[in-house]
Amino acid sequence: MEIRDNKVGEVTGEQMDFKKEIGSFRIEEEPEKAPEAKPKKEKPARRVKQKKQPRKLPLWLAILLLGIAYAITVVCTVLFLKSIGQADLTAVGAAVVLLVGFGAFFMYIVLRKRELITNVRQTLLICVLMLAAVLPQLITMQINIGFMPFMLAILLLALMSNERVAILAGLPVAASAAMIAEAMGQGEGIPAALMLAVMVASIASVLSLNLSKTRSSTVIASGVGGVIAVICFAGTMLICGETFLNYWQTLLWILGSCLVSGILAVGLMPIFETAFDIASDARLNELLNNNNPLIKRLMLEAPGTYHHSLIVAALAEAAAEEIGANALLCRVCACYHDVGKLRAPLYFKENQHGRNIHDELDPYESAKAITAHVTDGVVLLEKYKLPGEVVRIVSEHHGDSVMVYFYDKARKQAPEGTEVDEKLFRYQSNKPTTKESAILMLADCCEAAVRSMTNPTMMEVRQRVGDVITHKWDKRGSMLWNSPLTFVDVKKIERSFLKTFAALYHERIEYPDLEDIDVR
């Protein structure tokens, strides 16, 4: 279909220039049809390439993998004890000690954090880091009893898995350190001092990570953990009657080990994030940098979309905090959810300046152009190597909803008695499956609905937000059925949106005419 002048039936120069300007979608010429002819059957828009959910592991297989990690640790420990001349009975005792430490750790995960070990990547990450926490001590503690790089695995677990799991991981690491010290025949009280130092330092370092969400906080947390470990070790040795001169070198080794572990954690974290496709807080914060190529392109090529994304980010972040979802993840996904519009910015109202191309387009063509932004967004995000979790949430932010405006336009233009296929006006994507993707959908729809209003009052905003959320929650084929949001969560989200809108669209006083005031 060509854009034609209604009077002369020819393409005007102005319209042709406009076509070249938006030129990402081809507008083909079609033969004119008689009014009574049926409209040409259109193909549905291409389906969004979905970012698959993390592969699920059967519980028994996850437990088996954790058991293998424990078995490897036991075998290596027994071989170590044999190499230093310990008896078989000592080796059996070491296996029992490790079983107690690992058993408590695994039991907590199975009973309280089962969602972690049903995720393939998370299970493998936990196994790798637990081996990295225990096995190096078999070598390093032979150099000096205080040389324990346990903090490396603890920090990585906290940053990329779960803070409580990281704290509990200190239990098997502490048991291993105490057992090695006892097997090596260290002085009385040293095994107990090491066990206490490792456990308390693990707790302190993990809690210190919450002071800030940057990579530098990892080194700070390791330093805090090192100082706490030194204090605990020194205090325990004083109780045992040892003088400071007998173990001051050990204290330096403990502090140095923790600091080096923190530095190594900062360097290794990007490798683990890429290998296990994990969206850590540090990685997400980096994606919010305005120098990120996609963000910079949005600012320059689609400023209207960029501003819309910032408003959606504010709405989504505040709502996520209200219901206990990942607020930082919501903010990042909101900033990137419309990057697919970079392919043809002028097809979208917020980037247009007075002239709307869709006024001159067939509604079917308009629908294809609009739905394409989700597919194009997924392609761009994968090209720029964003975390899989971000890509999946962005791909779900419209679900399989209908573009009501163009569907209604097609129905009005269709000859009488002709049915319009609803599928041609649906986004070809999955409904939201997580709290974060559901919040993003609601924030996006509410922001667009409120923006379309002219000088609204807060009462009108409240009514419009309520209508949008009710439509997404209650209507046929609800967009929120696959998400874990409860009715209480939805009401909290609605209240949060209204609070944010009140802050964003607050009233201002009217300034006097500056021409009438002689001031600079």
- The 10s digit of each residue's pLDDT in 291-312 is 899 999 999 999 999 999 999 9
- Burial of 181 from C-beta contacts in 10 A (0-12 / 13-18 / 19+): buried
CA nearest 157: which of 213, 194, 209, 226? 209
One-letter amino acid at 98 equals L
Tell me, yes or no, if the two domains 59-273 and 283-504 fold the same way: no
Amino acid present at 423 = K
Specify whether the backbone of 474 is left (phi greater than 0), alpha (psi in -120 to 50) or beta. alpha
End-to-end, the C-alpha distance of the chain in Å comes to 56
The confidence band for 34, taking pLDDT boundaries of 50, 70 and 90, is very low
- Residue 378: both structure tokens together: 């997924």
Looking at residue 459, its amino acid is M
Parse the chain into domains and list their residue ranges. 59-273, 283-504
Mean pLDDT (whole number) for 32-49: 47
The mean per-residue pLDDT over the stretch 369-392 comes to: 92
Q: Which of 162, 201, 194 is nearest to 178 (CA)?
A: 194
Distances from the Cα of 65 to the Cα of 170, 447, 471, angstroms: 20, 46, 45
Average pLDDT in the 382-408 region? 90
pLDDT at 509: 65
Give 485: exposed, middle or buried? Use CB within 10 Å, 0-12, 13-18, 19+: buried
pLDDT score for 507? 65
Which region holds residue 385: left if phi is over 0, alpha if psi is between -120 and 50, else beta?
left
Give the pLDDT confidence score for residue 466 in this predicted structure: 92
The CATH number of domain 283-504 is 3.30.420: no
Q: What are phi and psi of 426, to 5 degrees?
A: -100, 145
Residue with tokens 């129905």: 411
pLDDT > 60? residue 512: yes
pLDDT at 434: 92
pLDDT-based confidence at 511, cuts 50/70/90? Answer: low
Give dist(CA 81, CA 100) in Å, integer: 18
Q: Considering only 4-18, 382-396, 461-475, which range has the smallest mean pLDDT? A: 4-18
SS3 state at 426? strand
Fold of 59-273: Arp2/3 complex 21 kDa subunit ARPC3 (1.10.1760)
Confidence of residue 341 (pLDDT cuts 50, 70, 90): very high
The residue-averaged pLDDT of 15-34 equals: 41
Which DSSP string do the residues of 437-465 spell out, in sequence order?
HHHHHHHHHHHHHHHTSSS--HHHHHHHH
For position 31, what pLDDT does the model report?
Answer: 42
For residue 505, pLDDT over 50 is answered with: yes
pLDDT digits (tens, 9 = 90+) for 255-267: 999 999 999 999 9
